[in-house]
Structure 1
Amino acid sequence: MRKISRLLLAALIAAAGMLVATAGPAYATLPGFVLSSTTASLPPTLSALATGKRITYVTTNINGGIITATGLVLTPKTNKKNRTVAWGHGTTGLADNCAPSTNQAVFWNEARLAIAEMLTRGWTVAAPDYPGIGTAQNHPYLIGASVARSLIDNVRAARNLDAALSTQYVVDGHSQGGQGSLFASQLAPSYDGNLVLKGTAAIAPVNNTQEFINYIPGNPAQGYLVMALYGVSVVEPSFKPNNVLAAPAEAQLGVLQSGCLPEILATYQNFAATDLVEGGVVPDAVVAKMASYENPAQTAPSAPVLLVHGTEDEAVPYFTAPILRDQIAAYGVPVTLQTIDGAGHDQAVSQSVTLVADWIAARFT
């Protein structure tokens, strides 16, 4: 009997090994599957409020292909509730060293304030770095559908780490992250599975770019345009940014891989329009192509929307905010535009921390 038992045990072990070998790769292709989880080093203002995990997880590109992404899952130390907020950070750069999960220099102060308030409310925060920042592929900057997938899948990953978390979630973000949050709301019905999106807050989101792209050349913020051109080339390899950029701008392209946002903006801030792009103007066909990838509200959001925008925004002009509000309202989706008088691009976040958190709390209620 002992010999038979040992044979049986060996057979069971072998069978279990075969199941792991076959099922493991299958599970590893499910969006939100956590490939690795390590203790994260958080800024002091957040480490006092939360325990953090830096994760590598599965997400998809805009064509549905399986890719990996990195991000954070922050769990409140006290007053923990079972709701999750996905936080979409503003632009940090294109290079791997521009991942907020590992580089506290680009974990912007306004993001720390917003996240701290969410943690104080007891919500778990899922904060992706975005595809291509911290992973092998290139970052499709301002391709809204890419950020959207990583936001939703970071929420899935948080639930895979903590089974007590509800399926309910809200997406909140600033600038690039606000744009991605709106795209996530559009994508959710066909992508987020059994998750339940309760609302989307977008602070100074990139939108209606065709209205202001050609005001950017010659502007101190024109480094954003260089990054955006390369974002299109990531998802559309036939698109060549060098056909748009002027020679002086091309000569400085190394900064996209060696620096993060402050270095990129500093490199290009004093360029004349004709030194940035050929003829000083982005061709109409390129403007239209960029808008097709970058503009939210091309389809209906799937949950109520809060828009927050400062009247002195130097990166995304305030005049686009009422346009976006009206575009969302046309779908019959509840939308509120909260104007912050005198606020710039980053101040819109820091001056609306409580307002946004109160709005999120009402969505969860």
Structure 2
Amino acid sequence: MRIRSTTLAVAALTLALAAGIPATTATASADTADAATRPGDVVASAPSSFHPRPGQPTNTKAWKIQYRSTTADGAPDVVSGTVVVPQDGRVGPRPLVSYAVGTVGLDDSCAPSDHLPRGTSAEGTLIHQLTQRGWAVVVTDYEGLGTPGPHTYSVGPSAGHAVLDAARAAQRLPEAGLSASGPVGIMGYSQGGQASGWAAEMLGSYAPELQVKGAAAGGIPADLLKVADSDNGRAGSGVVFMLAAGQDAAFPELKLDSYLNPAGKTLVDYLRTHCAAIDTTVGSFKRISDMTTRDPLAQPDWQARLNQSKLGRTAPAAPVYQYHAAGDELIPYAVAQQLRTDWCAKGADVHWRAIAGRGHITGGTSGAAAAADWLADRFAGRPSDGNC
């Protein structure tokens, strides 16, 4: 998705109407869209709601937003998301967490902003635990989920931009009442861990004005080539084909479909139009060689693009809490260890935690509370506790 500044007014009107904003509000958003030229500027907003489970009350207010962001190749785009603010009468700057969800799928129907109001988000309870601490939360939909264009799944720079710009947008949304200089945290696991890691790495150059106190990132697929090699033909092989589709979405010159045989085209077309719960099942135990006429991931152009999403080449500009399940069957433990080594070698402030006896999913759920406790310490101004 590459919405240029000359078409932002039309894009804003289309997105606002799709979100159910009244015509007058949508028109106003369109009229001011050309002024929304900075990354993080709000293009459109509408009241929403947040429920961890269907109908579960949360004492919060929520808004669905569309905001300016940046693609992996530096072009302006529009991303959607959800801002959730507790209604607890707090006085003073309220901490804001920019929360990056794990893999939800490639179809627009998978977007978190579509599921948070209905109580059907897989991470709704984890998000609720943050709002119960009195923190505001903004949840990005990432590029291409809930907005025009395909989802650029696994493309790290795009995801990092979306996470940082979501925080900017939440602070610039008047209804949310958040301070532009308030404390910010970043949190995410799995795909969200990649997005959070990228946000931490690009913070200093892309969004230095944000007062980010720390980033909690778990289950990070820091090296996509190694992840794909590990998952090829195994239970997590659906992720391999999803990441190929996501890279192709961001970089159409990769021409993924030209590598696919009929079975591969059927599989990838299915993955593009469904969500993760079914995608990971349908795509499991498939080998790249059985779905292609030749392996795209073995080609230099594909390897170059996948390596653009590799983490560990820049020290995060804020303290990082990195956690990973020792028994992770989807993201190799060694990939996480290497990222820790690379960050530490560059002088980063990293608190590393290995979660024993857990796999990928259970590592995420069991590790979330400790990650939030670590963020709470950063919000409280306590010294960081890196253990490089």
State the TM-score, normalized to the length of structure 2. 0.82
Change in 2 beyond 3 A, CA 1:284/1:43: same
Change in 2 beyond 3 A, CA 1:292/1:21: closer
Give the CA deviation at 1:288: 2.7
Change in 2 beyond 3 A, CA 1:265/1:285: same
The reply to whether residue 51 of structure 1 matches residue 61 of structure 2 is yes
Change in 2 beyond 3 A, CA 1:342/1:24: same
Contact 1:213 1:287 in 2 (8 A): no
Q: Which residue of 2 aligns with 1:222?
A: 237
Farther off after superposition, 51-60 or 161-170: 161-170
* Runs of 4+ with >6 A deviation: 20-23
**For 1:296 and 1:261, how far apart are their aligned partners in 2?**
24
Change in 2 beyond 3 A, CA 1:281/1:152: closer
AA aligned to 2:349 is: P
**For 1:233 and 1:241, how far apart are their aligned partners in 2?**
6
Alignment equivalent of 2:43, drawn from 35, 49, 52? 35
The reply to whether residue 358 of structure 1 matches residue 368 of structure 2 is no
Change in 2 beyond 3 A, CA 1:291/1:25: closer
Structure 2: 5+ residue stretches without partners: 1-27, 382-388
Alignment equivalent of 1:86, drawn from 98, 121, 124? 98
Q: Which residue of 1 aligns with 2:7?
A: none
Contact 1:214 1:282 in 2 (8 A): no
AA aligned to 1:330 is: A
Change in 2 beyond 3 A, CA 1:28/1:274: same
The reply to whether residue 265 of structure 1 matches residue 277 of structure 2 is no
Q: Deviations over 1:225-244 (max 9, x none)?
A: 11111222223221121344
**For 2:163 and 2:239, how far apart are their aligned partners in 1?**
22
AA aligned to 2:220 is: P
Give the CA deviation at 1:321: 1.6
**For 1:362 and 1:215, how far apart are their aligned partners in 2?**
36
Q: Which secondary structure state, in structure 2, belongs to the residue aligned with residue 319 of structure 1? A: helix
Q: Which secondary structure state, in structure 1, belongs to the residue aligned with residue 246 of structure 2? A: helix
Q: Deviations over 1:98-124 (max 9, x none)?
A: 101113589543x22321221121111
After superposition, residues 249-328 of structure 1 pair within 5 angstroms as 249-278=264-293, 282-283=297-298, 285=300, 288-328=303-343
**For 1:126 and 1:312, how far apart are their aligned partners in 2?**
30
Identity %: 28
Change in 2 beyond 3 A, CA 1:68/1:22: closer
After superposition, residues 179-190 of structure 1 pair within 5 angstroms as 179-190=194-205
Q: Which secondary structure state, in structure 2, belongs to the residue aligned with residue 64 of structure 1? A: coil
Farther off after superposition, 184-193 or 302-311: 184-193
**For 1:341 and 1:49, how far apart are their aligned partners in 2?**
35
Contact 1:92 1:106 in 2 (8 A): no
**For 2:289 and 2:225, how far apart are their aligned partners in 1?**
19
Change in 2 beyond 3 A, CA 1:21/1:70: closer
Structure 1: 5+ residue stretches without partners: 1-19
Give the CA deviation at 1:219: 1.1
Change in 2 beyond 3 A, CA 1:34/1:47: farther
Contact 1:49 1:116 in 2 (8 A): no
Q: Which residue of 2 aligns with 1:196?
A: 211
After superposition, residues 206-245 of structure 1 pair within 5 angstroms as 206-245=221-260
Q: Which secondary structure state, in structure 1, belongs to the residue aligned with residue 360 of structure 2? A: coil
Give the CA deviation at 1:142: 0.7
State the TM-score, normalized to the length of structure 1. 0.86
**For 1:273 and 1:337, how far apart are their aligned partners in 2?**
33
The reply to whether residue 133 of structure 1 matches residue 141 of structure 2 is no
Rg (Cα) greater in structure: 1
Q: Which secondary structure state, in structure 1, belongs to the residue aligned with residue 113 of structure 2? A: coil
Q: Which secondary structure state, in structure 2, belongs to the residue aligned with residue 170 of structure 1? A: strand
The count of aligned residue pairs is 345
Report the aligned-residue RMSD: 2.5
Alignment equivalent of 2:115, drawn from 65, 88, 103? 103
